[in-house]
Amino acid sequence: MTTVIDGNELAADLRDGLGDAIAALDSHDVTPGLATVLMNDNPDSETYVNMKQRDCEEVGIDTIDERLDPEGTAEELFGVVDDLNQNPSVHGILVQSPLPDHIDEEVAFERIDPAKDVDGFHPMNVGRLVRGRPNLKPCTPHGVQRMLDSADVDLEGADVVVVGRSNIVGKPLANLLAQKSNWGNATVTLCHSRTEDLAAHTKRADVVVAAAGVPGLIDGDMLTEGCAVIDVGINPVDADNDKGYRLVGDVDFPSAKAKADVISPVPGGVGPMTRAMLLYNTVKAASQQEDVPVELP
Residues carrying an active site annotation: 52, 96, 119
- Which CATH superfamily is 139-271 part of? NAD(P)-binding Rossmann-like Domain (3.40.50.720)
Q: Which residues contact 254 (CB under 8 A, 6 or more apart)?
A: 220
Residue 16: the pLDDT is 97
Q: Is-contact 99 39, C-beta < 8 A?
A: yes
Q: Which residues contact 106 (CB under 8 A, 6 or more apart)?
A: none
Instruction: Say yes or no: do domains 25-116 and 139-271 share a fold.
Output: yes
**Is 25-116 assigned to CATH 3.30.360.10?**
no
Residue 230: the pLDDT is 98
| Residue type (1 letter), 98 | P
What is the full per-residue pLDDT of the chain (297 aa) written as tens digits? 899 999 999 999 999 999 999 999 999 999 999 999 999 998 889 999 999 999 999 999 999 999 999 999 999 999 999 999 999 999 999 999 999 999 999 999 999 999 999 999 999 999 999 999 999 999 999 999 999 999 999 999 999 999 999 999 999 999 999 999 999 999 999 999 999 999 999 999 999 999 999 999 999 999 999 999 999 999 988 888 988 888 899 999 999 999 999 999 999 999 999 999 999 999 999 999 999 999 999
Domain ranges of the chain: 25-116, 139-271
Enter the pTM of the model. Answer: 0.96
Residue spans of alpha helices (H) in the chain: 7-26, 43-59, 74-86, 105-111, 123-130, 139-150, 170-178, 198-202, 253-259, 270-290
